Structure 1
Amino acid sequence: MHAENFHLPQYFQRIGYRGDPKADAATLADLMRCQLFSVPFENLDVQAGKGVSLVPEAIVDKIVGRQRGGYCYEVNGLFAMALQALGIPYRFIAARPMFYPVRRPRTHMALIAHADGEDWLCDLGFGSYGIRAPLRLSGLDEDVAQDADTFKLSRSAGGEYLLEAQSGGQWLQQYGFDRSPQEWVDFEPANHMNSTHPGAIFVQKLVVVLHHARGRDILVGNQLKTVRGRDIEERWLDAEAIPEVLASRFGLVAVA
């Protein structure tokens, strides 16, 4: 994935990365963590009735140039540009969200990157229970602690990978996927559905998530959830308070 206006130094400045980048697993993890902690998952454009562009240059302009965030196609797309610039091989994959009561199509985008002889699941756009660091695809059925969260990858009888997150003492299925490489254009229909279909959560509600070293801030509709370790605080916001919370918690300005 290539954008004429993508420049690594500007990307590093946007995400606050100050390391010595190499095409290795350590850099892969550092970049993912820096981007997660600085670029929010957000659907402000969808809520404002604007289209979500998958043109690479538009994604760079939005997230790097205008200090915005985005949802999975945008934030993972930007991450893919950084990997390409660093010479880290990757592929896009299509994942099936598993937390709905009915079976859903494979509308979620994630990546598999290759570094230090391993394939790693990378995902910067799954919101509340998203992984916080790359997961080794070879590390099946292992409890992997990432800060205060715990994740696990397993394989189904049909060979599909399943990502689970631990919450409240139980494992919650997040999404299933396989290694089949997807092209950028393959996500155009899913992007259209997620940004326009009345049944899509992103059309129905404002969703903003920003990860921190100790947890994450989550705004869904007018409910603000503050997660710090295992402590969770919830409060309901008046409509007038949302712009201030977007600015102070997420570094965002409401979209008209």
Structure 2
Amino acid sequence: MLADTFSLPAYCQRIGFTGELHADFATVQALMQYQLRAVAFENLDVLAGKPISLNPDDIVAKIIGNKRGGYCYEINGLFAMALTALGVEWQFVAARPMFYPVKRPRTHAALVVKLEGKEWLCDLGFGSYGIRAPLSLAVLDTPVMQDSDTFMLSHENGDFVLKALVEGEWANQYGFNLCPVEWVDFAPANWMNSTHPDAVFTQKPLIVRFTENGRNILFGDSFKQVSGQTVSKRSITPDEQAMILAEHFGLEA
């Protein structure tokens, strides 16, 4: 996946990465972490009633040109363009969110990257309990610490299942398999997530930006900051939202 307008130097400038670029694990991990900390997971366009374009050039214009964020298709789509420009092999996977009380369709887009003979889950667009670095598909049922978060991959009923340790308990996040998925396959899910009245993205602001040891989360009128094991949470007024978006998420309302 590559847009005509995508520039690897412009991408690196957008995420603040100034290191050397190679088609290796160290570079992919670094780009993933820099992008997580620079590009917010956000649904402001959905709330404004604007269509979410899956056109790669539109994604480049939104995130790199206009310094915005996006949700999984846009954020992971941009990362896929960077991987393509690097010459790294990857594929999309369609994941089923598993934290809802009822079974949901496979609406989440993630990436499996092939590096140095191994396969790694890379996902920059899952929000609060998203992984913070590539996660090996070969390491199953083993807790893996990433900064202050702990994750684990299991294999259940034909799917890989990503789990996060939440308040001392393992919580399923999503399941996926390695069935080939094309970019166009996400069009129905994108339409549902951006228009259906029951979708979480159409109801209230949901904005997440990762930090070196935690994340900032704005959900509705609740603003939460997580730093290691320290969590602070408070309600904000509509008048405060613009300031919070600019200061903590790098976004303009």
Q: Please give the range of the TM-score, normalised by the shorter of the 2 chains.
A: over 0.9
Q: CA deviation at 1:2?
A: 1.6
Query: For residues 38 and 116 of structure 1, what CA distance do their matches in structure 2 show?
Result: 27
The AA in structure 1 aligned to 2:82 is: A
Q: Secondary structure at 2:114's aligned position in 1?
A: strand
Query: For residues 90 and 243 of structure 2, what CA distance do their matches in structure 1 show?
Result: 38
Residue in 2 that maps onto 1:200:
199
Residue in 2 that maps onto 1:238:
237
Query: For residues 88 and 187 of structure 2, what CA distance do their matches in structure 1 show?
Result: 24
Gaps of at least 5 residues in structure 1 are none
Query: For residues 176 and 50 of structure 1, what CA distance do their matches in structure 2 show?
Result: 29
Query: Does 2:24 match 1:13?
Result: no
Describe how 1:65-214 pairs up with structure 2 within 5 A: 65-156=65-156, 158-214=157-213
Q: CA deviation at 1:20?
A: 1.0
Aligned-CA RMSD value: 0.6
Query: For residues 132 and 85 of structure 2, what CA distance do their matches in structure 1 show?
Result: 22
Q: CA deviation at 1:116?
A: 1.3
Q: CA deviation at 1:240?
A: 1.0
Spell out structure 1 runs of 4+ moving beyond 4 A. none
Q: Secondary structure at 2:247's aligned position in 1?
A: helix
Gaps of at least 5 residues in structure 2 are none
Query: For residues 218 and 210 of structure 1, what CA distance do their matches in structure 2 show?
Result: 7
Query: For residues 219 and 32 of structure 2, what CA distance do their matches in structure 1 show?
Result: 23
Query: For residues 64 and 131 of structure 1, what CA distance do their matches in structure 2 show?
Result: 22
Query: For residues 199 and 180 of structure 1, what CA distance do their matches in structure 2 show?
Result: 28
Query: For residues 47 and 184 of structure 1, what CA distance do their matches in structure 2 show?
Result: 24
Query: For residues 133 and 87 of structure 2, what CA distance do their matches in structure 1 show?
Result: 19
Please list the CA deviations of residues 191-223 of structure 1 after superposition, one character each: whole Å capped at 9, or x if unmatched: 000000000000011100000001000000110
Q: CA deviation at 1:95?
A: 0.1
Residue in 1 that maps onto 2:215:
216
- Superposition TM-score, scaled by structure 2 size: 0.99
Q: CA deviation at 1:180?
A: 1.0
The AA in structure 2 aligned to 1:187 is: F
Please list the CA deviations of residues 64-114 of structure 1 after superposition, one character each: whole Å capped at 9, or x if unmatched: 000000000000000000000000000000000000000000000000000
The AA in structure 1 aligned to 2:142 is: E
The AA in structure 2 aligned to 1:245 is: I
Tell me how many residue pairs correspond in the alignment: 253
Q: CA deviation at 1:18?
A: 1.2
Q: Secondary structure at 1:26's aligned position in 2?
A: helix
